[in-house]
Structure 1
Amino acid sequence: MSKNKELFVTAFALFSMFFGAGNLLLPPLLGYQATDQWHWVTLGFMITAVVIPIFGILAHARLQGSMFDFGKKVSPVFSSIFCIIIYIISVTIPSPRTAAATHEISIFPNFGTTPLLTSSIYFALVLVFVLNRSRILNFIGKFLTPLIVLILLTIIGIGLFMPHAVVDASSFKTPLFEGLKEGYQTFDAIGAIVIGGVIIISLNLKGHDSFEEKKKLIAKSGWIAGFGLFVIYAGLILLGSYFSNEIYIDTAMSGDMKRATLLRGISLATLGNIGTAFLSVLVALACFTTAVGITTGTADYFKGLFNNSKEAYTITAVVACLIGILVGQLDFHDIIVIAIPVLKFIYPIAIVLIFLNITSEKFATPIVFRTVVLVTFIFGLLDAIHFFYPQNSLLLNFRKMMPLGTHDFAWVLPALLTFVLVGFFQKK
C-alpha cells in the first residue's frame, strides 16, 4: 500500500471510530436551538469535540504506548485505576449508546423489533469485527467511512443550498458554553485516548516498526480526521439552524426523540423519501464503527495486562459486548442522563492528561502532572456532586464564586494556575 493511500485509510478509520451516535445526533439540535447564534455554539462544540480529541491523537503519536502511558507520570497506580475507569465507562455508556441510537433511528422505525433483538445482533457483529481486528483498519478506512462521509456531505450540501426562512433570535444566554458542554457528550476526548491505542496496535500488526514513521502517520491522519469532523459538525449545526423555523419539534418530547425527529426531518427535506433509508444506513454505520473501536481498545488493554494473552482479549471483547446488549436496552436519552455526572468528573482529568502529554517534558514534569491532576480531580468531583445535589447551598456558593463555575468549568482556571505556579517554583 502506498504511503498516501495508507495515510487516508488510517485517517478515515480514525474519523469513523470518532463519529458515532452522539456525533451525529447532537449537532443538529444544538444548531436548531442556537438559531442565529450557531457560530458561537459551533466554536464551543469544536473545542471539546474536535480540537481536544485531535490533541489526544497527537499525544498518542508522541507516546506510542497504551492509555497507561497517559497517566504514568502521576503514578503507575493512578494510571492503572484511570485506565480501568475509562474502559469501564467506555463499554457501559458510549458503546451501548451506539446500539440504542441505531435501534431508535435505523431499526425500530423500519422493522419494529425489540431493543433486545437489535442490540443482540448489533453486538454479535461488533464481536466478529473485534475478533478479526487485523482487518479492522483497512475495512473501516476503505469501505465504511467513505460511505458515511458521502451520505453526510450529500445531506449537508443539498440542505445548505436550499432556500430557508429567516431564523429567530437565539434563546441561549451563553451559546459558547452550551457548545462546549454539548461537545462533552460526544465522549470524543475519552474516545481519543481509547481509539489512539487501537490505531497504534493496528499499525504495529501491519509491520510498522519505525517510531518516527508511525509518529508522522498518526499525526497527519489525526489532522485529516479532525478536519473531516470539523466540516461535518459545522454543516450539521448550520443545517439545524437553517431548519429551525421549518421543522416542528414538540417541546414535550424527550431529548433523544427531538434529535431523531430533527435528523429525520432534515433528511426528508434534503433527499425526499429516500432520505429516510439513507439516514438509517448512516446512523447504523456511524454507530457500528465507534462500537468496534471502543471494544477493540478495551480488549487490547486487558490483553496487555495479562501478558498479551489472546484469551484475555477474547474474554474482554465478549464481556464488553454482553454489557452492550444489557445497557443497550435503555433509550438514548437515558444513557445521556447517566453519562452527565460521569463526564463532569472524568472528562476534565482526561483533558488535562491530553494537554500535559503534548507539552514539552521540560514543563510537564512528574510533579506538574501530579499537582495539576490532583487539583482537576478535586474540582471535577465537586461538579459531579453538584449534579446529585443541585440545591446544596455550599456547592451553589462555590460555583458562583469560581470563574466559569456556573458553566461547569470551575476546574479550568485552578488547573491552569497550578500548571504555571508549580512549573515556576520548580524552575526556581
Structure 2
Amino acid sequence: MQNTKETLVTAFALFSLFFGAGNLIFPPLLGFQSGNMWWLVALGFCLSAVLIPLFGILAHAKIQGTIFDFGKKVSRTFSLMYSILIYAISVSLPSPRTASVTHEIAVQPFFDSPYIVTSIIYFSLVFIFVMNRSKLLNILGKVLTPAIILILLAIIGITVFYFDFNFGTTHFDNPFTYGILEGYQTFDAIGAVVVGGVIIVSVNISNKEKTFEEKRVLIRKAGWLAGIALFVIYAGLIFTGAVMHNQFDADITRTALLNSISIKTLGSTANLFLSILVSLACFTTAVGIVTGTSDFIRHLFNDSQIAYIITAVLGCVLGVVMGQFNVAYIVNVALPALMFIYPITIVLILLNILPEKYASTLVFRSVVIVTAIFSIPDFLSTIGYDNEVIFLEELIPLSKYNMGWVIPGFLSFAIVNVLGSKKPIHE
C-alpha cells in the first residue's frame, strides 16, 4: 500500500511538471484543424510532448545529475553552452508566453486593456515571488493541477457523450509529423532536462531507505502513469477540437478556442473558473522558469546573490518585452529556436537512457554533431530561407517534413556502434 501511495505521489509530481497551463492551448486547435485525422495528429503530438519528456525523466533517474550532465559526454564546453542556451530560450519564450496566455484567457474577455499592461503587472509579481521564494507556489501547484484536470476531464467527457462524432477533413498534408512539430511548442522535453532532476532529488530524499534499483523502478512506474494521464488529456482535447470543427470560425485563435469550448460544454461560470486556474498555473510556471535560470547563473558565479538578482531582473524584463505580444506571435518566434534545439535535446535524452556500451563518448559526439548539422536546414526554412534550402528536401530524407535530422542521426549512431568505437575519448 505504501509503495502504491509513493508511486501515485511521484506520478502526480511528474504530471504537474509537464502539465503546463500554456500547453492547453495547443491540443484543441490541433484537433480543430485535423478533422478525421485527429487520432494521427494526437499520436504525433504525444510522441514529442509525452513520450520523449518521460524518457528525459528516465534519463535523469539513470545519470542522477543536472542539465549539465546530459551533454557532458560531448564535452564540458558543449554542455555549458547547451545549458546556457536552454535557459536563455526558457526565459525568452515559454516564460513570456505564460503572460500572453493569461492576458488572452483571463483579461481580454473582460477588460479592454493592452497586452503591455498585463505583462508589466504580471512580471512585477513574478519578480517579487522569485526574490522571496514563497512556498505558496508549491501549495498552489498541488491545488491548481487537480482542479484543472477535473475541469478538462469534464469538458472531454461531455464532448464524448453529448456531441455527434462529426469530423471534417484535415487541414494538414502530413498530420503525424505536424503533430510532432506542434508538440515541440510545449517545451516539455526541455522541461524534463531542466527541472526533471528536481523530481529525482525529491525521490532520493523521501526514499533514502530504498536501493538505487528500487528508486528507478518507482520512477519508471510513476513515469508511465503520468504519461498515460497526459495522453488521455492531450488526446481528449484534440478529439474535442475535432468534434467541434464546425462550431467556430475557421480563423479562431488557440486561446479563444479553449475558452469557447469550455463555455459550450460547461457554461460561462465554469469558463471563468478555468480562466482563473489557468492564469495562476501560468504564473507558477513563469516563477519556476525565472527562479531556475537565476539559480543556474548564480551557481556559475560562485553562488553570487548579485548574479541571481541581475538574472531575475533580466528574466522579468525579457518577459515584459516578449509578453506584450500575442500568443500566436510568440509561437511563431519560438519555432526557429525549437527546430534547432529540440532535435539536439531529443538525441541527448535518448542517448542518456541507452546502456553505456551503445552510448560511448564517440557516439555522443558523432550523433549530436550530425543532428545539429542536419537541423540547420529546418532552422533556416523557418526564418525565411526556405527557397535557399528547398533543394535539400530532395537530398535529405524526411527534410520536407522538417525532420531531416532523424535518419542521419540514426545512421551516425549505428555506424559508430557497428565500427566498434566504444572506448571513451578523454577530453
Q: CA–CA distance in 1 between the matches of 2:379 and 2:103? A: 30
Alignment check: 8 A CA contact 1:197 1:297 kept: no
1:418 and 2:419 are equivalent in the alignment: no
* Aligned partner letter, 1:235: G
For residues 287-340 of structure 1, give each alpha carbon's deviation from its aligned partner in whole angstroms, at most 9, with x where no partner exists.
223323322332332233233445544443343223212211111111111111
- SS class of match (1:110): coil
Structure 2: any 5+ residue segments left out of the alignment? 423-427
Alignment check: 8 A CA contact 2:63 2:69 kept: yes
**Residue 86 of structure 1 corresponds to which residue in structure 2?**
86
- The within-5 A match list for 1:125-164 is 125-131=125-131, 133=133, 135=135, 138-164=138-164
For residues 167-207 of structure 1, give each alpha carbon's deviation from its aligned partner in whole angstroms, at most 9, with x where no partner exists.
22323222111111111111111121112133345567879
Identify if the C-alpha distance between structure 1 residues 260 and 137 changes in structure 2 by more than 3 Å, giving closer, same or farther: closer
Q: CA–CA distance in 1 between the matches of 2:296 and 2:215? A: 20
**Residue 254 of structure 1 corresponds to which residue in structure 2?**
none
Q: TM-score, normalised by structure 1?
A: 0.90
Single out whichever of 321-330 and 74-83 deviates more from structure 2. 321-330
Alignment check: 8 A CA contact 1:62 1:215 kept: yes
Identify if the C-alpha distance between structure 1 residues 18 and 9 changes in structure 2 by more than 3 Å, giving closer, same or farther: same
Structure 1: any 5+ residue segments left out of the alignment? 252-256
- The within-5 A match list for 1:43-122 is 43-122=43-122
* Aligned partner letter, 2:283: F
Single out whichever of 20-29 and 367-376 deviates more from structure 2. 20-29
Q: CA–CA distance in 2 between the matches of 1:205 and 1:110? A: 45
Identify if the C-alpha distance between structure 1 residues 58 and 184 changes in structure 2 by more than 3 Å, giving closer, same or farther: same
- How many residue pairs match? The answer is 420
**Residue 176 of structure 1 corresponds to which residue in structure 2?**
176
* Shift in Å, 1:237: 0.2
- The within-5 A match list for 1:16-415 is 16-131=16-131, 133=133, 135=135, 138-164=138-164, 166-200=166-200, 212=212, 215-245=216-246, 247-251=247-251, 257-393=252-388, 395-415=389-409
* Shift in Å, 1:422: 0.4
CA RMSD in angstroms, aligned pairs only: 2.6
* Shift in Å, 1:107: 1.6
* Shift in Å, 1:224: 2.9
Alignment check: 8 A CA contact 2:15 2:230 kept: yes
- SS class of match (2:356): coil
* Shift in Å, 1:273: 1.9
Alignment check: 8 A CA contact 2:156 2:237 kept: yes
* Aligned partner letter, 1:197: G
What percent of counterpart residues are identical?
A: 52
Q: TM-score, normalised by structure 2?
A: 0.90
Alignment check: 8 A CA contact 2:347 2:368 kept: yes
Identify if the C-alpha distance between structure 1 residues 353 and 408 changes in structure 2 by more than 3 Å, giving closer, same or farther: same
* Aligned partner letter, 2:372: F
Identify if the C-alpha distance between structure 1 residues 348 and 249 changes in structure 2 by more than 3 Å, giving closer, same or farther: same
Single out whichever of 46-55 and 118-127 deviates more from structure 2. 118-127
- SS class of match (1:109): coil
For residues 29-77 of structure 1, give each alpha carbon's deviation from its aligned partner in whole angstroms, at most 9, with x where no partner exists.
1111111111100110011110001111111121221100000000000
